[in-house]
Structure 1
Amino acid sequence: MNVQIFIPCFVDQLFPETAFNMVRILEKFGCNISYNLSQTCCGQPAYNAGYLDACRPVAAKFRDDFNPTDYIVAPSGSCTGFVRNYHHKVLNGVSPVQKHLYEFTEFLTKILQVDNTGAELKGKAVYHDGCGALRECGIKQSPRILLQNVKSLELQEVQDAEVCCGFGGTFAVKFEPISIAMAAQKVKSAVASGADYLISTDLSCLMHMETYIRKQGIPLRTMHIADVLASGW
């Protein structure tokens, strides 16, 4: 199966190892990976800030950077949700790229029919439902199915798993006190559960909560699910 990968801006610049782990997993299950070096942003930051004119050429470039007949996989529910649900509004028409873009865990479970990557990670973990993955893409069970099959990992459900972490892109800048308080709530809930790991499909959420964790000196590690699923090989 030919699979193109889309690596969001913050993954490319700050967490490249997650992208490499995603590729490792996809290749393990028979995917032929291609990566267009000229790809850039999907346009979400400009759109969310209300700059539609600035978003339009970025979204158009995203559309043109991919082969419209192959699957496209991204380690981000947020970017996936934006492209799926808003690109046609920005570009005045649905493109094939919108229909072929999948979030990583969704692609593993629904397209490749994979529920166990052979990973092993010792400890307790809680999963955070990022708003993009849950609300924009309807992804809830795929990450949990994969995590439940990680050897030696005890996945625990917390009551506020679906509550926003407070990042929201520019929201964290414009409403910093509220944003920090929301992150604190999520982290305290994870700590109260006895978790060693806080896991999500979105590094934007994890990056936000990690900042609070480090400043408070809390012994809790954040991990993108691709990094978890590539552990222990």
Structure 2
Amino acid sequence: MRIALFITCINDLAYPATGIAVTRILRRLGHTVEFPDRQTCCGQMHANTGYRAEAMPMVRNYVDVFDGYDAVVAPSGSCTAMIRDQYPRLHPPAASVAARTYELSELLVDVLGVTDVGAEFPETVTYHPTCHGLRMLRLGDRPLKLLRQVRGIDLVELGDAEECCGFGGTFAVKNPDVSTAMLTDKCARVGETGARVLAAADNSCLAHIGGGLDRHRSGVRAMHYAEILASTGATP
């Protein structure tokens, strides 16, 4: 199976360790992961704010770059949702490659049939299901199935887990008071778990929640769940 990594903008620019983690996981499972260097932004920010015409060159480029692969994996629920949900409507020829684009847990659980990736992470962790993964991709408990198989992990349930963290891309900029109130609630629920690590499938949401946790001096670290699955020993 030819697998390509779609790193996404935020990971490429701010969280490269997440993309490295995805590659390590798949290589550990015996797969080769390719990284096409002509990949660009998926165009989500443009399309979601009404600039669909401006998003089209990025949509077409995605098809050109990734159409030859059996599977494309992205460590981002929101970008994967953009590709799977909006691409076929914006550009019908994108439907085939969009259907072969998977968020990491979908690729591991549904396509490769794996839940135990050989990880070890001796920490107390709680998991926040981000909105795009929860409501658009319907990831369900796939990420949790993977995390439950991690050796040494103490996975604790997050209260009101399905409540939005308040990020929502430009929502946090245009509605700062509402966003901050939602973030405060989410940080409180995280604090109640006693966890030392908050995991999620989107670094954009983790940046938002992580900033709130830092401002509250909570001592909780925000971390993409791929980095937990890539770990094979002591907490880095």
Q: Report the equivalent of 1:148.
A: 148
Q: Report the equivalent of 1:52.
A: 52
Encode CA deviations 1:111-169: one digit per residue, 9 max, x unaligned: 11111122112222111011111111110111001111111111122231111111111
Q: Is the Cα contact below 8 Å between 1:68 and 1:100 reproduced in 2?
A: no
Q: Is the Cα contact below 8 Å between 1:133 and 1:201 reproduced in 2?
A: yes
Runs of 4+ with >3 A deviation:
none
Q: Partners of 2:148 and 2:4 in 1: how far apart?
A: 27
Q: How many residues align?
A: 233
Unmatched 5+ stretches in structure 1: none
Q: Partners of 2:99 and 2:67 in 1: how far apart?
A: 12
Q: Report the equivalent of 2:196.
A: 196
Displacement after TM superposition at 1:68 (Å): 3.9
Q: Report the equivalent of 1:101.
A: 101
Displacement after TM superposition at 1:92 (Å): 4.1
Q: SS in structure 1 opposite 2:110?
A: helix
Q: Report the equivalent of 1:123.
A: 123
Q: Partners of 2:173 and 2:59 in 1: how far apart?
A: 23
Check 1:69–1:231 CA distance in 2 against 1; reply closer, same or farther (3 A cut).
closer
Encode CA deviations 1:160-200: one digit per residue, 9 max, x unaligned: 11111111111111111211221221111011111111100
User: Which deviates more, 96-105 or 60-69?
Assistant: 60-69
Q: Is the Cα contact below 8 Å between 1:127 and 1:199 reproduced in 2?
A: yes
Q: Is the Cα contact below 8 Å between 2:127 and 2:200 reproduced in 1?
A: yes
Q: Residues 8-23 of structure 1 correspond to what in structure 2 (within 5 A)?
A: 8-23=8-23
User: Which deviates more, 33-42 or 84-93?
Assistant: 84-93
Q: Partners of 1:113 and 1:166 in 2: how far apart?
A: 33
Q: Is the Cα contact below 8 Å between 1:82 and 1:136 reproduced in 2?
A: no
Whether 1:88 aligns to 2:88 is yes
Q: Partners of 2:137 and 2:98 in 1: how far apart?
A: 12
Q: Report the equivalent of 1:179.
A: 179
Q: Is the Cα contact below 8 Å between 1:11 and 1:18 reproduced in 2?
A: yes
Q: Partners of 2:94 and 2:119 in 1: how far apart?
A: 37
Q: Partners of 2:196 and 2:157 in 1: how far apart?
A: 13
User: Which deviates more, 158-167 or 222-231?
Assistant: 158-167
Q: What letter is aligned with 1:138?
A: R
Q: Is the Cα contact below 8 Å between 2:134 and 2:140 reproduced in 1?
A: yes
Q: Report the equivalent of 2:4.
A: 4
Q: Partners of 1:75 and 1:82 in 2: how far apart?
A: 13
Q: What letter is aligned with 1:165?
A: C
TM score, norm. by length of structure 2: 0.94
Q: What letter is aligned with 2:89?
A: K
Structure number with higher strand proportion = 1
Q: Report the equivalent of 1:220.
A: 220
Encode CA deviations 1:200-222: one digit per residue, 9 max, x unaligned: 01111101111111222211011
Q: What letter is aligned with 1:193?
A: T
Q: Partners of 1:181 and 1:27 in 2: how far apart?
A: 41
TM score, norm. by length of structure 1: 0.96
Displacement after TM superposition at 1:58 (Å): 1.5
Q: Report the equivalent of 1:65.
A: 65
Q: What letter is aligned with 2:133?
A: A
